[in-house]
Amino acid sequence: MIRPGKMIKQVLQSIFKKPATTKYPFIKDAPPKNFRGKLKFYPEKCIGCKMCMKDCPSGAITINKVGEKQFECEIDLAKCIYCAQCVDSCPKKALEATSEFELATLDRAKLKVTIRAGSDKGTEKQA
């Protein structure tokens, strides 16, 4: 156990030291190269092979056909383990791992994202 006199000395010394932590919420560092964050889906590239669904270890991806050669992707971010196995297995590179990682929310329904075909970038809808 630390004696009270020694502890007071340590407390007073630490007041004048710079903090060892970063100022994260105010100053954001860029994630490292090849960081695996939130998935991005390109509906115009998707051919509907569903390899991403088959290779996803957590079952977080669902590909649905919405028209002739048009597909939508439902991603459950609550289930996703961000391993990027789906990105590696897609033969047409319709999935991409972004550097977005601040995904916390109090409502679990907001973690289900549906990306639909029909526009240039795809329209993202939260379930």
105 lies in some domain? yes
Most trustworthy range by pLDDT among 10-19, 76-85, 115-124: 76-85
Query: Higher confidence at residue 1 or residue 37?
Result: 37
Q: What pTM was estimated for this model as a whole?
A: 0.72
**CB burial class (10 A; 0-12, 13-18, 19+) of residue 55?**
middle
2 lies in some domain? no
CATH value at residue 58? 3.30.70.3270
15 lies in some domain? no
Containing domain of residue 78, as a range? 25-126
Q: CA-CA distance, 71 to 95, in Å (whole number)?
A: 13
Report pLDDT for 40: 94
pLDDT tens-place string over residues 2-46: 667 778 888 888 888 887 777 887 888 889 999 999 999 999 999
Report pLDDT for 29: 84
Q: CA-CA distance, 66 to 68, in Å (whole number)?
A: 7
6 lies in some domain? no
120 lies in some domain? yes
Average pLDDT of the chain is: 87
Total number of domains in the chain: 1
8 lies in some domain? no
Written as six digits, the tokens of 84 are 């990027």
Report pLDDT for 119: 47
113 lies in some domain? yes
Q: CA-CA distance, 123 to 94, in Å (whole number)?
A: 15
Give Cα 64 distance to the centre of its chain. 21
> Are the beta carbons of 55 and 86 closer than 8 angstroms?
yes
